[in-house]
Amino acid sequence: MKKENVLNINTGEVTYWGGSVPMWFSIDLGPSKLFNTSCWCLRHGYNAANSFPVDIQLEARNDSDGDYDWTLLHKISGSPFTQPHEALGWSVLPRHNKYFRYFRVVQPGNYGMGPNGGTGSPYFCVSGFEMYGNLRYKSGEVDSDKTVLSEEISVQDFDVESDCWSDEDDSEESD
């Protein structure tokens, strides 16, 4: 799956990756940007009412001053998803005042098959991710705050990583 599908808020494409647990993707805003997130959104990445993300968590960290440990910002138990390509959002509570460079969304186990289904295979099905909050631009010292929506930052503005990315389109091609 292409990493751009995770960040494209207008996609309806089937987007998943995995094969082993845990599954995750991370975003690096780069050395000149820090973000304080107040809420975040995730879109289910499959075109059927199954394969739902389960026990997902939003984490963040900085590399400054040896801060290499991920900070848990929000955790969701079970799966809140019930529909194909459903998009849901959550507030980050309790509200914090820390700004971070790196963000990661983790699914620690297999996907869920729905409210009555149980667990499925080790794949993470996500076709959209958004964060809302305050963005700080750094030039030596923090010099400005700007409230931003995720669509103001494109995939070219930062690096997205996972343990299972492909830059090729995995969809079937027709002749």
Tell me which residue of 90, 106, 20 sits closest to 55, measured CA to CA: 106
How do the domains of the chain map onto residue ranges?
3-162
127-143 in b/e form (b: 16+ CB < 10 A) is bbbbbbbebbeeeeeee
DSSP secondary structure letter of residue 119: B
CATH topology of domain 3-162: Jelly Rolls (2.60.120)
* Triad 164, 170, 175: Cα angle to 5°: 165
For the whole model, what pTM was predicted?
A: 0.76
pLDDT tens by residue, 78-102: 889 888 888 899 999 777 888 998 9
pLDDT tens by residue, 101-155: 899 999 998 888 876 667 788 888 888 888 888 888 876 444 444 544 444 444 4
Q: Is-contact 167 5, C-beta < 8 A? A: no
